Amino acid sequence: MSISSSPVTDIARAARLASVSLQSVTNEQKNEALLRIKQVLAERKDEIFKANEEDKKLAEEQVKAGKLSSSLFKRLDICNGDKFETILSGVSDITKLDDPTKKVTLATKLDTDLQLYRVSVPVGVLLTIFEARPEVVVNISCLALKSGNAVILKGGKEATHTNAVLARVIQDALASLSSSGIPKTAVQIVETREDISALLEQDRYIDMVVPRGSNSLVKYIQNNTRIPVLGHADGICSVYIDKDANIAKAARISVDAKTNYPAACNAAETLLVHRSLLQSDAFKTVAQALLDANVTLKCEAEPKAALAGLGSDKVVDATEDDFYTEFLDHTMAVKVVADVNEAVEHINEHGSKHTDAIVTENGETADFFMTRVDAAGCYWNASTRFADGFRYGFGAEVGVSTNKTHARGPVGLEGLVIYKYRAYGNGNVAGDYGSGKKQYLHEPINASERIL
């Protein structure tokens, strides 16, 4: 069957050819390429910042016109603070990670002269579609290269100039290393919305789509491609404060989970409180800490009544829809529950299977919660904001997955490899084995005997 040619098809085909070349690149060559990328990024910092300032100037007009949210605008900026230095250090961190490919995860002797191995290999070609965050260009490109994958990037239009410069810098860095074995087409970028639809049809060449963005973006991708999608649509995370909670911990964790970075998918959107805590100042202490942090509390009738004495105009009525809402702002839905079982039931019904936390000093209660909550991450006495590939020690992350196949939670290098089976024989044929014939040994192979 002939494949028609188009600019997008050519990009996808080039990525496939690059991914084949990457299969035989050594870990040393990968690290050399990553360090070269870091060097060139640093050398061309002014060029990158100029593009980012241009994007921010255009985005400010979009915010004023109500066409771009303030949370997306915040994610766009890579000039202020130490964000650019963090991007550079993230590249170095990835070089320090183990190569996830060529690892033997199973070795079996089928017969004396027939061995079977399961070996980790790159997924192949990744398509990453994301909004606002231009650092994703660097993070995902470097993670893809370290794991032996080619990547096609499509960023949001609000960061067009920054994304284009970052991708160009990465390609130039790869092109400057003639001996690396990594073609510059291992990292490519597309810029128009029309390209997305065309790329989602390239299941012949693209192996996995990784969306990072809004619920509507992820849902659109999931509904419009045959390519496997690794990602999550919502980040509706909850913090449950148990009757046996240390209230100082509860206040500290709740404030961090909500306000450390409200626009992130691992920020808490729901606060669940054990009913007994309303009978003392415990709940008021946590609520006051959140109010002091400028958080609006959308409460059901019971918790709202308990907070009436605080006299705050930031304590307002909640609706049922609020408990299905990813606010991405200084807003939190508050509900009272009778016990940990009701907390689990609420989270499993209303949550997004991302990350949920319990605050308690009771180990049995914590274990019940962490066992029964159906989420990629379940935490005990810790903020949901720890759900992040960098904080997990992955160097950076491709994204967060709420899938139950292949990869789950923050996805780093291990989520970018799959496996293949290799058999090493000596003229063996399947017809020699079976009832009344030779029997399979099915013996594990010791590491010292492995031929890989």
Q: Which of 168, 217, 213 is nearest to 197 (CA)?
A: 217
Whether 213 and 159 have beta carbons less than 8 Å apart is answered as no
Instruction: Give the pLDDT score at 45.
Output: 96
Write b or e for each residue in 393-402: b if 16 or more Cβ atoms lie within 10 A of its Cβ, otherwise e: ebbbbbbbbb
**Predicted local confidence at residue 375, as pLDDT:** 96
Rounded to whole angstroms, the maximal C-alpha distance in the chain is 85
Q: Where, residue-wise, is CATH 3.40.309.10 in the chain?
A: 237-386
Pairing of strands 104-111, 114-122: antiparallel
> Mean pLDDT in each 10-residue stretch from start to end of the chain (452 residues)?
74 97 95 97 97 93 84 84 91 94 96 96 96 90 96 93 97 89 95 89 96 84 93 90 98 98 94 97 98 98 95 96 95 98 98 97 98 97 95 84 86 92 96 91 90 77
pLDDT of residue 396: 76
Q: CATH 3.40.605.10: which residues of the chain?
A: 7-230+405-416
CB 400 within 8 A of CB 231: yes
Task: Write down the pTM of the prediction.
Answer: 0.85
- Pair 315, 197: CB distance under 8 Å: no
H or E segment and range at residue 126: strand 125-130
The dihedral through the CA atoms of 159, 127, 91, 411 has a sign that is positive
Tokens representing residue 276 in the block: 């007994």
Q: What is the dotted CATH code of the domain comprising 237-386?
A: 3.40.309.10
The amino acid present at 389, given as its one-letter code, is G
CB 244 within 8 A of CB 360: yes
**Please, are residues 58 and 158 in contact by the beta-carbon 8 Å criterion?**
yes
pLDDT at position 3: 54
* Distance separating alpha carbons of residues 320 and 316, to the nearest angstrom: 13
Helix (H/G/I), strand (E/B), else coil: 245? coil
- The fold of the 7-230+405-416 domain, in CATH, is Aldehyde Dehydrogenase; Chain A, domain 1 (3.40.605)
Structure tokens at 302: 């019971």
Rounded CA separation 187/18 (Å): 9
Span 302-325, pLDDT tens digits: 999 999 999 899 999 999 999 999
